[in-house]
């Protein structure tokens, strides 16, 4: 069982890792590479609460109130959950002595969530198969999740340094 201190530590790692991902996405955007709109994630989550899981095209679904904020909140909560997954797999000792490879592996494995859940539910198909460039989109997803995995390690390493 995690103590509230441990839970807070995991949450901070998830928040930090998600912030690293957001920095990566901002860099891509500055380079002209399209990135996900978190408003659409919020729209999807908003429709989930109304009982609708799948959409032909989430961009054509009716907007929901506060969808951008809901999308960002969801994005960070998922980051925290994935940090929890890493600690569940590696154990609490990983937080005290974080290593890069497990964080990267968990980051890369989490790409299954968009490929097999979110993209199909939002109308893009499995592995972005209904988009104009599925392979490019899948590789971009993979790179983004590798950036998140790197963020898991960096956030844990910085927290370890700060706590000592």
HEC letters along the chain: CCCHHHHHHHHHHHHHHHHHHHHHHHHHHHCCCCCCCHHHHHHHHHHHCCCCCCCCCHHHCCCCCCHHHHHHHHHHHHHHHHHHHHHHHHCCHHHHCCCHHHHHHHHHHCCHHHHHHHHHHCCCCHHHCCCCCHHHHHHHHHHHHHHHHHHHHHHHHHHHHHHC
- Confidence at residue 36, expressed as pLDDT on a 0 to 100 scale: 85
Whole-number mean pLDDT of the chain?
96
pTM above 0.85, yes or no: yes
Q: What percent of the chain has pLDDT over 70?
A: 98
What is the residue whose two structure tokens read 């971009």?
140
The larger pLDDT score, comparing residue 5 to residue 53, is at 53
- Interhelix angle 4-30/67-90, rounded to 10 degrees, is 120
Over residues 103-157, the pLDDT tens digits come to: 999 999 999 999 999 999 999 999 999 999 999 999 999 999 999 999 999 999 9
pLDDT band at 63 (very low <50, low <70, confident <90, very high): very high
Mapped onto helix, strand or coil, the DSSP state of residue 2 is coil
- Confidence at residue 60, expressed as pLDDT on a 0 to 100 scale: 96
- Confidence at residue 2, expressed as pLDDT on a 0 to 100 scale: 59
Closest CA to 80 of 40, 127, 122, 21: 21
Over residues 39-59, the pLDDT tens digits come to: 999 999 999 999 999 999 999
């Amino acid at each position: 069982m995690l103590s509230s201190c441990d839970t807070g530590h995991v949450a901070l790692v998830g928040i930090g890792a998600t912030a690293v991902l957001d920095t990566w996405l901002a860099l891509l955007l500055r380079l002209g590479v399209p990135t996900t709109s978190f408003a659409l994630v919020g729209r999807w989550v908003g429709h989930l609460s109304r009982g609708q899981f799948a959409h032909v095209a989430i961009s054509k679904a009716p907007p929901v109130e506060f969808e951008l904020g809901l999308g960002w909140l969801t994005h960070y909560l998922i980051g925290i959950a994935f940090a929890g997954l890493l600690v569940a797999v590696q154990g609490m000792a990983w937080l005290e002595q974080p290593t890069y490879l497990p964080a990267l592996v968990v980051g890369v494995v989490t790409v299954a969530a968009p490929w097999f859940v979110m993209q199909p539910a939002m109308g893009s198909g499995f592995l972005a198969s209904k988009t104009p460039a599925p392979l490019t989109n899948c590789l971009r997803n993979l790179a983004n999740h590798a950036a998140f995995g790197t963020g898991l390690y960096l956030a844990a390493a910085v927290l370890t340094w700060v706590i000592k």
